[in-house]
Structure 1
Amino acid sequence: MQPAPLTAVGEAHVALLSLLDGLDDAQVSGDSALPGWSRGHVLAHLTDNARMFARLARHALCDELVDTYDGGQAERDAIIEANASRDAATHRAELARECAALESVWKEVAAQDAWGRRVTFRDGDIGTTVYARWREVWIHMVDLALGAGPADWPAELAAHAVDFLLVRLPADTVLLAEDVDRRWTTGEPRTAVTGGVRDLAAWLAGRVPPTVPDAPRGLPQLGPWPPHPPRRDRP
């Protein structure tokens, strides 16, 4: 069975590429919303992220478990740095090519119903990388600072992001999403945070929410992004 957001990732890719229509070289070299990164860095990351997930899936279809990056974090960072300075046209073309390649390999996965094949990314399976790509595209669209914001996120994506990022909260917090009638708790609730689901997701993701969530006792301090779990040896 295919992961629920498979079609939604394709829609996110369309939205991302549409956002880049008219992007010029000066905008590429301009600052993104991420400290120390230009828009070119964000685009290089999104492009290579698609390539990386496609690579993991291709190997997994052959029952091969390979590292996310052979050279680890240093290789990832070097790829981004090497490609950040591409001109706008090249960024658009390479991003479109890698998005299409990723969707193509996922079609092979779907044909084999192989979503449960293990990958090293977050010690998960191919299916979990679909969710990860969904998050990456929508969150980094905001970071491009080209007019897209958390208000543009699909409600389902926002709710999924809250699920994923809930570990950032102290263990006495309840989140209430008034617009979608959802509630999340982290233990015995003493601190209540209320807002729209996109507001809550953006705040948890460290982005500026459309409306700051309401917390009578003050917004709690967030912990780190969910860590990568230790890799298990393949049985």
Structure 2
Amino acid sequence: MNDHVRDLASVRDATDRLLTAVATLDNAAVTQPSRLPGWSRGHVLAHLARNADALLNVLEGRPMYASGEARDADIERDAPRPLETQLADLRDSAARFQEAGSAPADWSRTVELRNGVTDSAARVPFRRWIEVELHRVDLGIGYELEDLPEDFVQREVAFLTDRFAGHPGVPSTRVTDGTRAWSTGRDSGGGTEITVTGPAPALLGWLAGRRDGAALLVDGGPLPVLPPL
């Protein structure tokens, strides 16, 4: 069961750590490439701020973004800003999200995200936690997948394997870190199943498109090619 109160606290703590890490940069570092193709660190920071506002919209019953084009334009507009402005925007947008999350609400209700995707309101804070943690890794400033909180990694692996479950382009796959196991991809129908084994951070890197999976052990076929998130 999703515990939105616990997840909101985790988002707040992760955001505080992110702000502390980003504050060590300078204006030149903000303009340098991130680990995301075509995006500078400024693009990542701008996206994080606008995503907080977008998820606030979701919680308050408005469209997440006015349009995909408007989302992209906002990120491009905000990416070149100096560090001080980026930090202030990150801090203020995070505070707005926390305030919305603290308001009395029916957390069992269904909300709509991008592209017609729906979810329970209670899982929105976890979705924000994903954004903060993974994009901090994307900044390339000394925070790696192996540094992510263990409980976050386990939940994100479960979240992503569930996301790809039933996908016709993904073969039936068992994902395991040697202790826990998850199933994803299409139903094998009793046929061959691919098994992908590795440390949980490496599994997360492959599932989230952050690593190529070279460190993983694969049995039963080639490593499945996953659709983009």
Q: TM over 0.5: same fold?
A: yes
**1:139 aligned residue:** 134
**1:95 aligned residue:** 90
Higher relative contact order (CA closer than 8 Å, sequence separation 6+) = 1
Does the CA-based 8 Å contact 2:174-2:196 persist in structure 1? yes
- Root-mean-square deviation (CA, aligned residues, Å) is 2.2
For residues 220 and 211 of structure 1, what CA distance do their matches in structure 2 show? 9
State the AA in 1 paired with 2:110.
R
**2:65 aligned residue:** 69
**1:232 aligned residue:** none
Superposed, 1:134-213 pairs within 5 Å as 134-166=129-161, 167=164, 170-178=170-178, 181-186=179-184, 187-188=187-188, 190-208=193-211, 212-213=215-216
Superposed, 1:23-38 pairs within 5 Å as 23-38=25-40
User: TM-score under structure 1 normalisation?
Assistant: 0.83
Does the CA-based 8 Å contact 2:107-2:121 persist in structure 1? yes
The unaligned stretches of length 5 or more in structure 2 are none
Q: Cα deviations across residues 78-101 of structure 1 (Å, max 9, x unaligned)?
A: 100000010011101110111111
| Shift in Å, 1:31 | 0.3
State the AA in 2 paired with 1:116.
S
SS in 2 for 1:215: strand
For residues 125 and 185 of structure 1, what CA distance do their matches in structure 2 show? 22
Does the CA-based 8 Å contact 1:2-1:115 persist in structure 2? no
For residues 175 and 221 of structure 1, what CA distance do their matches in structure 2 show? 11
Does the CA-based 8 Å contact 1:170-1:220 persist in structure 2? no
1:209 to 1:182, Cα distance in 2 relative to 1, 3 A? farther
SS in 2 for 1:175: strand
State the AA in 1 paired with 2:47.
H
SS in 1 for 2:216: coil
Number of residue-to-residue matches in the alignment: 214
Does the CA-based 8 Å contact 2:209-2:228 persist in structure 1? no
The unaligned stretches of length 5 or more in structure 1 are 61-65, 227-235
Identical positions, percent = 32
- Determine if the alignment matches structure 1 residue 12 to structure 2 residue 26: no
* Residue number among 85, 90, 110 corresponding to 1:118 in the alignment: 110
| Shift in Å, 1:2 | 4.1
1:40 to 1:9, Cα distance in 2 relative to 1, 3 A? same
| Shift in Å, 1:210 | 10
